[in-house]
Chains A and B, each alone.
Chain A
């Protein structure tokens, strides 16, 4: 059939481009994971103290010299550094993340418990940040110069607020003074509200700034005027034209934003005493729990790589002008 020949001709370069794109992302991702594993391996050895002591339960354990030597031999810590490095890379490559020093359970098992709560927190915060940013962008474009100035001020302030300060203020206001919400993040939905807001607000300010700017430009554009001249209402121009343009920079930034949410989770999970990757990372570093630190860092990096690829795909879907190349 001639039609199928044509479609195959048109499809072949697209498939080729897609395959190249997937391979590129995969290679980049593996490189990032290797770089993270290497940085963690050498970085953690610069912290003063003996890892064997950490295995035996920390400096307070008063372990005997024999016990420490036995631990070193068991975990391969008496080997030369490069042997340790390559055997660690090999173990990680084969999916073995080892056993946590402090928890004495396999790292994979620990991560399996920690990932879901952090993922819920980060995804909710991203959704809330998007919603706030869009509402702010729409309201300010509909309310003239004063509204724009107010929205812009709000955005700058919230983008500049540090997580720990915002968390403290929210706890004092909504938990201590008003008593509406629990100060500690429990497993109930109410316990999620304050941590999510703490993470979402600065991000919303940041996203809002870029979205409002793009939306205002779209509202003034010739295609918006054309749409109005066709009889489109202001709401219609906003929904059918400007909103989509405003979303583009937001989508492009969301991959990066997710990474910032993961690092924000370290602070927020600690303050709200919420189980998760961030809080465990902090305690693992303090306890010199090398396998757990490596595991959390690798999982975060992998999540970041996946989210970046997803936001890249979302960007291509939302903006057909970007060609897969």
Chain B
């Protein structure tokens, strides 16, 4: 490959906040048309690196570099005024979280127009025409209407496209995209990545930042792996994916659930659990005796919601499933497919319009709450955002005491041994019992949520998007923990996720949902290796894989 002038050259970049250095000795180069993926866990310094490339590392930061050149121009020590001519015009920046990256009070068209107004001299009507053209080029239907809407009126995918439109408004030579697809459903994420791919093909260089190697593998030409502010491995896409040298790169690759058979360990650092299993699973004998009678059965579940006084909207219609003892039933579908409504009906928190749920062969959805309450301990639940489900005034120990005593006490002293045992079971240090959950990391919080769900000794656990908010490497640990607990305690899981790779890795049986209805269901490998429904096939096509040959 010939070596044209690099668009971006970074040599020994360091960023410090006060005395703590968060980025150290980072070097990389981007040539026209090249896409470099910067991959690492949250807190590894990826985002700070990206922001310091446009002089926005943040208040209180000190940036040093041996060389920092954009389009051959040394940008070290530029004034804010000079930076403003580069930002937006030569470098387009796409932030993660499109929900908050567009001003909710302003029209989407105005936000895009700002980029044009700040740098070019076109008249108002010329710019308005360009805004519509940009919105069309990022694949938004009805661009004239979209320009007149606010971000709150757009879906997640549409917002991300609008944000991309504002970043490419002036055909920048460098596009920096920070987790552009993290909050999106798989099919939408794939479409957005395709869109970014076409931008790169038109000659711009791209720096793509993600915690998920699989998500960027299809677009990137080269990959830099970051850990604790340093680049630990840097090479071509194929080198990193198929011949990783650094142990951290290998761990990141192993954490990706796509294509890993059931019960394969995803995380190398599963907490060694040498302590004996004290809570012998009472459910184990049942496993053999009632092997074939399902624990949780839904028949013809339907639920509609009234929308703004208008016609009622069917959120779930005629859903059937069976969850067998000791197994995992995966429910996969995109946002709005009725997964969570189904989970709430299974938990007995929402009464179905029609259809029934039976738990251990007895009626569950049709009985009054007073009768359900006595049996609630056999059914646990964990959610996407564990912190929101914790009372913020309670310590970790108090939360568990509350769950262990079924709400009659929050004094951890009464349950000291059981709390330690529960924390140990989910791989948390028992000293954390005195801490407040807000001081825990995302992965630790989800472990705590699992410990709390297990406190009343349930036999069925309903997991609603349990790993969606987590980094891939942390997700791997939580998924491994769920697997391990299932084998030890004989638990049955109803696992809900929009992530097909997670579902495929974890489930024995699977239900594919779309717009409230079941599209396809059956044994996981059967469904995914030989999908009968068109929608299942489109989901499979959109799921990121790292199989050779899938290159944009």
Contacts and interface: CB of A to CB of B under 8 A. Distances in A.
B95 A321 contact: no
A229 interface: yes
A321 B101 contact: no
Given A230-B87, A231-B115, A232-B114, A223 B102 contact: yes
Contacts of B114: 227, 230, 232, 240
A72 interface: no
B105 A226 contact: no
A231 B118 contact: yes
Contact of B103 (A144, A227, A228, A234): A227
Nearest to A318: B105
Interface string A152-185: 0000000000000000000000000000000000
B103 A229 contact: no
A231 B105 contact: no
Contacts of A234: 80
A230 B56 contact: no
A169 B95 CA distance: 52
A222 B163 CA distance: 12
B15 to A, nearest CB: 16
Contact of A231 (B89, B103, B150, B152): B89
Interface string A213-231: 0000000011101111111
Given A225-B95, A241-B103, A320 B150 contact: yes
A316 interface: no
A229 B100 contact: no
A283 interface: no
A244 interface: yes
Contact of B88 (A225, A229, A318): A229
Contact of B80 (A221, A233, A318): A233
Interface residues of B, number: 34
B84 interface: yes
Interface in B353-392: none
A319 interface: yes
A245 interface: yes
Residue of B51, B87, B119 ringed by the most chain A CB atoms within 10 A: B87
A244 B107 CA distance: 13
B174 to A, nearest CB: 12
B87 A226 contact: no
A305 to B, nearest CB: 27
A228 B95 contact: no
A239 B457 CA distance: 56
Nearest to B59: A144
Given A221-B100, A222-B100, A320-B105, A229 B56 contact: yes
Contacts of A318: 105
A231 B84 contact: yes
Nearest to A218: B103
B54 interface: yes
Interface in B150-164: 150, 152, 163
Contacts of A228: 56, 87
Which of B84, B95, B103, B114 has most A Cβ within 10 Å? B103
B181 to A, nearest CB: 16
A301 to B, nearest CB: 32
B318 interface: no
Contacts of B167: 229-230
B104 A321 contact: yes
B84 A233 contact: yes
A244 B96 CA distance: 23
Contact of B101 (A144, A223, A244, A320): A223
Interface in B218-270: none
B98 to A, nearest CB: 9
B97 interface: yes
B103 A321 contact: no
Interface in B100-154: 100-106, 111, 114-115, 118-119, 150, 152
A231 B88 contact: yes
B118 A226 contact: no
- Interface size band for A: 20 to 34
A231 B163 contact: no
Contacts of A240: 106, 114
Contacts of A230: 87-88, 93, 114-115, 118, 166-167
B538 interface: no
A228 B103 CA distance: 12
Contacts of B118: 230-232, 236
Nearest to A229: B93
A3 to B, nearest CB: 14
A232 B93 CA distance: 13
B85 interface: yes
Contact of B119 (A144, A227, A231): A231
Contacts of B100: 221-223
A226 B93 contact: yes
A245 B106 CA distance: 10
A229 B95 contact: yes
B101 A226 contact: yes
Contacts of B119: 231
Interface string A287-325: 000000000000000000000000000000011110000
Nearest to B152: A321
A245 B105 contact: yes
Nearest to A320: B150
Given A221-B100, A231-B115, A231-B118, A226 B152 contact: no
Contact of A319 (B95, B96, B105): B105
Contacts of A225: 51, 56, 95, 101
Contacts of A144: 59
Contacts of A226: 93, 95, 101-102, 111, 163, 166
A317 to B, nearest CB: 11
A225 B111 CA distance: 13
A236 B103 CA distance: 13
Contacts of B105: 241, 244-245, 318-321
A321 B80 CA distance: 34
A236 B84 CA distance: 11
B541 to A, nearest CB: 31
Contacts of A231: 84-89, 115, 118-119
A240 to B, nearest CB: 7
Contacts of B89: 231
B110 to A, nearest CB: 9
Contacts of A233: 80, 84
A234 B84 CA distance: 10
Contacts of B95: 222, 225-226, 229
A227 B152 CA distance: 18
A87 to B, nearest CB: 43
A321 B166 contact: no
A20 to B, nearest CB: 11
A222 B101 contact: yes
Nearest to B114: A230
Interface of B: 51, 54, 56, 59, 80, 84-89, 91-93, 95-97, 100-106, 111, 114-115, 118-119, 150, 152, 163, 166-167
Given A223-B102, A225-B56, 18 more contacts: A222-B96, A222-B101, A225-B95, A226-B166, A229-B95, A230-B114, A230-B115, A230-B167, A231-B87, A231-B89, A231-B115, A231-B119, A232-B88, A232-B114, A240-B114, A245-B105, A321-B104, A321-B105
15 contacts: A222-B97, A225-B95, A226-B93, A226-B95, A226-B111, A226-B166, A228-B87, A229-B93, A230-B88, A230-B93, A230-B167, A231-B86, A231-B88, A233-B84, A241-B103
